[in-house]
Amino acid sequence: MSDPFTITPEEQDEILQAYEEEIETDEERALRLAYEMFPGVTLAEALERGKNEDDWVVPGLISATTTLLYGEAKIGKSWMVSALVGSLLTGSEFLGVKPEDRPYSVGVFATDDRGESEYSGRIGTICPDDDDERLRLYQMPPMTPEGWESLATVVRSHGHNVVIIDNLSQALQPGGSINDDPTVRAFFDGVRKLIRSGVAVVIVGHTSDKAGMNGYKPTTPLGSSVISQMVRWKLFIWKTKNKNLGVKSSGNLGYKSEGVVRSEAGARFTVLSWRTEDDRELAEQKRSKETLDRNAEIASWVVENCQGMSRNKSAETVAAHFDGTEGRPSVAVSSFKSQVSKGYAYGAMLDRPDDGSWSLKTS
């Protein structure tokens, strides 16, 4: 009777071969780690991936990667974020634009004390379902690399495809400064873990509330210039003179727009005006044509009515005729002298030799 604990030479060879196959050499391990860090794709694979990737969560306003929503403290940024959350959960418009038609699961990470309860109250003004599993609220501490790993795990486990971080300054690593480039880069290294998993991240930031030497408050994000470099899209909010909110949308996706909205009850905003970069360019072209036509009108009138007059007399005559009435433009005496002497505007269209005759330049 054979010993059940004894193996044959053939069985030994099989066990040894299997063991050797499972052992990873240093070279094989280094190659595997390199491929994991730089997986790479072919051109065809990249093109196919691009077809299936979205640029926007809300077209022209919220990017499918990173968006920085920023402005002065207490201006209403959290209310606007709440309006965005309501839009994603209900499919309603956010600042006049409907979100892309796909299911959303939103994680709101608030750094303020009692941030979850404050957001629940704001979002509750437009989302009556307080038991919606597509929304979860979290308290966010100052973030370490380990903290970002845990956050990414939580986001994946709950299936969030949109994450909101309110706010950037308080989510930095412990002891870090918003003005310190490495600290800010460490924050965005953490954000990138989410982006690479297909999660859109909206980050709430600030501007300085102190006016500069020119008397104007800055329109750039508070802190390191790395912030603007690392986000794909920016939504800048400011208070207008009539107590509404100005909103400027810009970034590197080839689309810019600007508008004015009015804050309503709860997390609701009414769009009062909005124009895209194309609208502005068309308006500038129209203004340019109107200005050119006006200058041509003034220059032609000078040639017809000011022959033989001195420059001073011509200026007085032009100012008397172009007085802003009956649809005519307004030209001041000093303005006429300046434009003619410097060759600007209608002055660039006029030629006046020493004999006092006026003529239109041919080129």
pLDDT in tens, 248-271: 999 876 668 899 999 999 999 999
Quick one: pLDDT at residue 284? 58
Q: Which pLDDT tens digit goes with each residue over 148-203?
A: 999 999 999 999 999 999 999 999 999 999 999 999 999 999 999 999 999 999 99
Q: Is the pLDDT of residue 338 over 90?
A: no
Q: Which pLDDT tens digit goes with each residue over 9-62?
A: 777 777 666 665 667 778 888 888 887 778 787 887 777 666 666 789 999 999
Q: Is the pLDDT of residue 293 over 90?
A: no
Lowest mean pLDDT, pick from 235-249, 268-282, 320-334: 268-282
Quick one: pLDDT at residue 99? 94
The conformation of residue 348, written as its DSSP 8-state character, comes to G
**3-class DSSP assignment, residue 202:** strand
| Cα separation values, 347 from 141, 286, 289, 299, 336, Å | 64, 21, 17, 7, 8
Give me the mean pLDDT over the 296-310 stretch.
Answer: 90
Could you tell me the pLDDT band of residue 318, with boundaries at 50, 70 and 90?
Answer: very high
The answer to whether 84 and 58 have CB atoms below 8 angstroms apart is yes
Q: Which pLDDT tens digit goes with each residue over 86-134?
A: 999 999 999 999 999 999 999 999 999 989 999 999 999 998 777 789 9
Could you tell me the pLDDT band of residue 218, with boundaries at 50, 70 and 90?
Answer: confident
Could you tell me the pLDDT band of residue 304, with boundaries at 50, 70 and 90?
Answer: very high
pTM for the structure as a whole: 0.68
Crossing angle of helices 145-158 and 181-195, rounded to 10°:
20
Quick one: pLDDT at residue 214? 72
The H-assigned helical ranges of the chain are: 9-22, 26-37, 43-52, 77-90, 115-124, 145-158, 168-171, 181-195, 226-230, 277-305, 311-321, 333-342
Query: Closest by alpha carbon to 264, among 122, 129, 154, 162?
Result: 122
Quick one: pLDDT at residue 280? 56
Query: Which tokens sit at 167?
Result: 């706010």
Q: How far is CA 126 from the centre of its chain?
A: 24
Could you tell me the pLDDT band of residue 286, with boundaries at 50, 70 and 90?
Answer: low
